[in-house]
A and B are shown apart, each in its own frame.
Chain A
Amino acid sequence: MNVASTSIATETPWLLRKSSVQAMGVFLFVVLGSLWALAQDTRFAYLLVYVWFGLAYGALLQYGRFCMASAVRDLFAVKVPRMAVGVMIAVALYAVVAAIVSLAGFSTFHPNAMGWHIVIGAAIFGFGIVFTGGCASGSLYKAGEGNMNSMLVILAISFSQAVVVSASGWWDALVPQSWLDAAAAQDMPAELTITQGWFDIFTAGYIWGLKGTTMAEILGMAETARGIILANTLLTAILPVMIILVVLYVIYYRKGYLRRSGKANPSLRDELAGMWAMCTSSKNTALAGIGLGILAGLHMYVTGALREHYGIFNFGELLVAMGYTNGLSIQDTVFDPGYWYITTQEAQWGGWVMQKLGIDSMDSIFFGLDNGLPNPLLNAPGFMSIGIILGAAIMALSRREFKWKLPSWETAFFAIVGGTLMGIGARLAMGCNIGAFFATVTNGDPSGWVFLVGMTIGAYIGVKVFTWWMDWSSARKASECGL
């Protein structure tokens, strides 16, 4: 492909542009907000780590148009491997930095329980992302570009999760009696009512019976440098990444590359050059992948170091010490993964609103036992999500790509239905493409690859359904649009 002429308006110096001033205004707002928080209590530094890593994630996501939804969707929809390649680069870098963080003893990672729920939840999640136009993180950065549709997706993800984890009544018929019996046998405080509410029964009767582990543990090398480097990093992350890159090259890139480069009988050297060309074909995406991978690892290090500094395991302990006790779980904890995570904090936003509306959600395991329902102003990972929106807004404004975009009835419908499916899928799979895939495979937990398989299946079906709908819609409006 040739780009004959590129005309990006550059008549006004960057510093004097209105959008650049607005970008600096948003940045200043975050700086002043951070200083204000520190003036209240310096221990808010722990929360601000989430804010600033979120800001950096958002800026890089926008810079690289880095949306994991398109990693699987665009493969099937338009046969473009750009984003899948970018994600693999990010996985490789994150895994290397995570290994260093683990070796230094600052890892905050906990493996996910392995089971069928991952495939099923990921497939529902993958189906939903085709219709929303972005994954959970992608919707956040697109909201930062002024896309109101993505804001609807975030709302749908928040409330669907909150409803799923606290619903009871007829929902309870969705789970088998054996799970109910297993849940009833658990020794849990009566206030959690774990035999009421289908998600509580699913958690206590099924998930708690499963095992989450790392490859190093499986191979009997847990807690050793050899286990971290060989089993967790090379075997669980780097090797699968290399295999996937080769598969992407052979299926989606090789033919076009050889045609463009005029190689009829390519040597191994030509093939490697083609692989390199694929990895660098979108420099923005590749650079974002490198940056996100390194930052995601560093995030774990900084949070781990701060936990050691304050002598805590969870932000809830720090909140109690600062005198904030509302919304904590019965263990005095709140959701505090210590690394990049998206969906759970959004579920907390929805649950907090429902709680304020008089719908009690604290009798659920998800909120009442594990994650709490803190005020959004004290929700540290929640501020990471807000940071992603603001970081993306800063980057979009500074690149003159910010534009308020109102949804149509059609796109709003897709956003709400797709976002709801994403919320349901993320809770069943115990996370989204970040928490259940990106953070897991990079830390030696193979369950993330199971999530990717499920998400890919869901996205494939989603693209088929979406294509059918587009064809039907276009045919119906043929006289108007002619497509």
Chain B
Amino acid sequence: MAMSFNKTGDHEWELNVCGYTCPHPQMYTKKALQKIESGDVLSLIFDNPSSGESIQAMCEAEGSDLIDRQDAGGSFVWKIRKV
């Protein structure tokens, strides 16, 4: 299990931080959002529920849109469009 960050298409990225507990998921998400361009979509995969609250608040503060979220079975797949 290791963190992975890949470009999956035009303006599309995927960050997988499954297996990591706080603060890794939110800090890696912050780094990933800094790396991608405005308007790019980041698919974020994580399984530490409490990180979700911080990531949601971080998106809200920065103005990025959480455009889709799949929450089930202890795993979360969120799509964030960078502001």
Interface string of A71-113 (1 = CB under 8 A from B): 0011001111111000000000000000000000000000000
Q: Are B73 and A133 in contact (CB under 8 A)?
A: no
Stretch at the interface among A30-38, A144-152, A311-319, A353-361: A144-152
A481 to B14, CA, bound (A): 10
Q: Are B53 and A82 in contact (CB under 8 A)?
A: yes
Q: Which residues of B contact A (CB under 8 A)?
A: 1-7, 19-24, 26-28, 30-32, 35, 47-50, 52-54, 56-75
Name the A residues within 8 Å of B62 (CB-CB): 256
Sample of 15 more A-B contacts, CB < 8 Å, known A3-B66, A252-B61? A1-B59, A8-B70, A70-B22, A73-B22, A73-B23, A74-B54, A77-B23, A78-B27, A79-B61, A281-B60, A282-B53, A401-B74, A405-B21, A470-B28, A482-B5
Given A67-B50, A256-B62, A78 contacting B30 (CB threshold 8 A): yes
Within 8 A of B (CB), among A407-442: 407-408, 411
CB of A307 within 8 A of chain B? no
A78-B53 Cα distance, complex, nearest whole Å: 12
Q: Are B74 and A146 in contact (CB under 8 A)?
A: yes
B49 to chain A, nearest CB (A): 5
Chain A interface size, under 10 / 10 to 19 / 20 to 34 / 35 or more:
35 or more
* Set B31, B61, B74: member contacting A400, Cβ < 8 A: B74
CB contact under 8 A between A483 and B22, given known A1-B64, A400-B73, A403-B47 = no
Q: Are B2 and A80 in contact (CB under 8 A)?
A: no
Q: In the complex the two chains form, what is the Cα distance from A260 to B83 in whole Å?
A: 12
A5-B61 contact, Cβ under 8 Å, with A401-B74, A411-B20: no
In the complex, which residue of chain A has the Cβ closest to the Cβ of B62?
A256
Alpha-carbon gap, A5 to B70, bound state (A): 9
Which residues from 136 to 190 on chain A have a C-beta closer than 8 Å to any C-beta of chain B? Answer: 138, 142, 145-147, 149-150
Contact assessment for B54 and A408 in the assembled complex, using a CB-CB cutoff below 8 Å: no
A411 to B28, CA, bound (A): 15
Tell me if A467 counts as interface (CB < 8 A to partner B).
yes
| Of listed B21, B62, B74, residue having the most chain A CB within 10 A | B21
A interface residue numbers (CB < 8 A to B): 1-9, 62, 65, 67, 69-70, 73-74, 77-83, 130, 133-134, 138, 142, 145-147, 149-150, 252-253, 256, 259-260, 281-282, 284-285, 396, 400-403, 405-408, 411, 463, 466-467, 470, 474, 480-483
Are the CB atoms of A6 and B69 closer together than 8 Å? yes
User: Are the C-beta atoms of B54 and A7 separated by less than 8 Å?
Assistant: no
**B69 with A145: CB separation less than 8 A:** no
Q: Tell me the nearest residue of chain B to A253, going by C-beta.
A: B61
Q: Are A130 and B23 in contact (CB under 8 A)?
A: yes
Contact count A vs B, C-beta below 8 Å: 162
A411-B19 contact in complex given A403-B73, A480-B4, C-beta closer than 8 Å:
yes
A7 touches B49 (CB 8 A): no
CB-CB < 8 A to A284: which residues of B? 53
| Contact status B22-A133, CB under 8 Å | yes
Question: With A67-B22, A405-B19 given, is the CB distance from A1 to B56 under 8 Å?
Answer: yes
Q: Which of B19, B23, B52, B72 contacts A408 (CB 8 A)?
A: B19
The reply to whether B63 and A74 contact each other, CB–CB distance below 8 Å, is: no
Alpha-carbon separation in the docked complex, A411 to B18 (Å):
12
Interchain CA distance A284-B7 in the complex, whole Å: 33
Cβ A82 vs Cβ B54 within 8 A: yes
Cβ–Cβ < 8 Å partners of B50 in chain A: 65, 67, 70, 138, 142
Contacts of A8 in B (CB 8 A): 69-72
Chain A residues, Cβ within 8 Å of B52: 65
The CA-CA distance from A70 to B69 in the complex, in Å, is: 23
Q: Is the CB of B74 within 8 A of A403?
A: yes
Q: Are B68 and A7 closer than 8 Å at their CB atoms?
A: yes
Q: Which of A2, A150, A282, A396 contacts B21 (CB 8 A)?
A: A150
**Can you report 24 A-B residue pairs in the complex whose CB atoms are below 8 A from each other?**
A1-B56, A2-B67, A3-B66, A4-B65, A5-B69, A6-B69, A8-B69, A8-B72, A9-B71, A73-B22, A133-B23, A142-B21, A253-B61, A259-B63, A260-B63, A400-B74, A401-B49, A406-B19, A408-B2, A411-B19, A411-B20, A411-B24, A466-B23, A474-B31
Q: A1-B65, A3-B66, A74-B23 are in contact. Are A483 and B75 (CB under 8 A)?
A: no
